[in-house]
Amino acid sequence: MKKRIVLLPGDGIGKEVIDSAKDVLSAIAEEFNHSFSFDTHEIGGAAIDQYGTPLPETTVEACTQADAVLLGAVGGPKWDNNPSHLRPERGLLGIRKALDLYANLRPIKGFKNLLHASPLKEEVVSGSDLLIVRELTGGLYFGTPSERRDNGNAVVDTLSYSRSEIERIVDKGFQAAQQRRGLLTSVDKANVLESSKLWREIVEEKKAQYPDVAVEHVLVDAAAMKLITNPTQFDVIVTENLFGDILSDEASVLTGSLGMLPSASLREDGVGLYEPVHGSAPDIAGKGVANPVAMILSTALMLRYSFKLDDEAKVIEDAVQSVLDAGFHTADLQVADGRLVGTFEMTKLIVDYI
């Protein structure tokens, strides 16, 4: 298989972990006889510094022609006080919209030997394995008007969705539940928001098409509670953009493995952007100590979702598990009797296994 992959290292540790992704994919290509080409472009703060914009045209063009995109991370204190259009996050929002990556998938599963690092009691969190399917290109993030009014004395943002935007993400949720344990939790605020009422209606309409999936509706405030008190009760959560932002970050700290969590942002045809859930961690950038596992597991998601290379994805996931089982860990993780390694060594261990 021949695939063109665009690498967007971005900022901070993004630059380091993207190298790990490349090494792992090169090993997979060799082992399974694929040909992956890599093309690196700027986004976020690095792009602001070099091109005066967080999302240069050349980056968008390269991504548009790619089969998949890998992103490290964007942001850092250097650009925190920039005006809105010159903030690193704008690059991320812009590329999601430009590529129509409406479905953000975040699988959250604990690693047995890391569960001790969870803020939750082991008996509460143990066995949790959930997938958050977040709508990524609509809602409050992109609705208009979004502006000051009345001489700056008032402000509005707009939460807007079309029926088809809701339908396609709800379908993704149902399909994901079919491939997993068959339970879909739709999260909304239907007791207050009109948009949530339409959302709930659409979920109800679609039920009949997926008779093998059990559906429940949970209000977003209740979902925020249940994620903590009973995380194992969830299989797939489907929700709109802002609720998904909050709940997926909440969920990401439950298992004690934030540095291990990958994500996928997909378009209808399977083109996708893959990135770690963690951020650019400017405090440890450039030191060679960042945990590359979230980025490496993101490449596994890319192989599975964009290229349908399930076996290859599995090899990467097994490699990560084995290296962890052998006690190797980066500085962000505490493992009893473990062996502390840096970004490069961790990557090499995983590559060697492959």
Ligand X SMILES: CC(C)[C@H](C(=O)O)[C@@H](O)C(=O)O
Q: Which of 192, 204, 288, 311 binds ligand X (CB under 6 A)?
A: 192
Interface with its own copies, residue 159, by CB under 8 A: yes
Catalytic residue numbers, as ranges? 141, 189, 221, 245, 249
Interface with ligand X, residue 33, by CB under 6 A: no
250 binds, among its own copies, ligand X, none (CB under 5 to 8 A by kind): its own copies
We find the least distance from the C-beta atom of residue 252 to its own copies, in angstroms, to be: 7
We find the least distance from the C-beta atom of residue 198 to its own copies, in angstroms, to be: 5
Interface with ligand X, residue 266, by CB under 6 A: no
**What distance in Å separates the CA atoms of residue 301 and residue 192, rounded to the nearest whole number?**
36
- Complex with its own copies: residue 2 or 121, whichever CB lies closer: 121
Phi, psi of 66 (to 5 degrees): -85, 160
Contact residues for 317 (Cβ-Cβ < 8 A; gap 6+):
297, 300
**What distance in Å separates the CA atoms of residue 322 and residue 221, rounded to the nearest whole number?**
38
Interface with ligand X, residue 92, by CB under 6 A: yes
- Complex with ligand X: residue 261 or 346, whichever CB lies closer: 261
Say if residue 91 carries a ligand binding annotation: no
- DSSP notation for 257-270: -GGG-EEEEE-TTS
Q: Which of 109, 163, 308, 339 binds its own copies (CB under 8 A)?
A: 163
Question: Which residues are paired to 35 by β-bridges?
Answer: 2
Is there a contact between 350 and 24 (Cβ–Cβ < 8 Å)? yes
First-to-last CA distance in the chain?
A: 18
Interface with its own copies, residue 221, by CB under 8 A: yes
**What distance in Å separates the CA atoms of residue 45 and residue 86, rounded to the nearest whole number?**
8
We find the least distance from the C-beta atom of residue 332 to ligand X, in angstroms, to be: 19
What does the angle CA 227 – CA 196 – CA 145 come to, to the nearest 5 degrees? 115
Q: Which of 112, 155, 232, 311 binds its own copies (CB under 8 A)?
A: 155
Say if residue 153 carries a ligand binding annotation: no
Is there a contact between 95 and 63 (Cβ–Cβ < 8 Å)? yes
Buried b / exposed e over 53-78, threshold 16 CB at 10 Å, is: bbbbeebbebbeebbbbbbbbbbbee
Interface with ligand X, residue 317, by CB under 6 A: no
**What distance in Å separates the CA atoms of residue 74 and residue 296, rounded to the nearest whole number?**
17
Interface with ligand X, residue 245, by CB under 6 A: yes
- DSSP notation for 42-104: --THHHHHHHSSSS-HHHHHHHHHSSEEEEEE---GGGTTS-GGGSHHHHHHHHHHHTT--EE
Q: Which of 225, 232, 326, 339 binds its own copies (CB under 8 A)?
A: 225
- Complex with its own copies: residue 39 or 157, whichever CB lies closer: 157
Interface with ligand X, residue 209, by CB under 6 A: no
Say if residue 199 carries a ligand binding annotation: no
We find the least distance from the C-beta atom of residue 11 to ligand X, in angstroms, to be: 12
198 binds, among its own copies, ligand X, none (CB under 5 to 8 A by kind): its own copies
Interface with ligand X, residue 93, by CB under 6 A: yes
Q: Which chain residues interact with ligand X by CB under 6 A?
A: 89, 92-93, 191-192, 221, 245
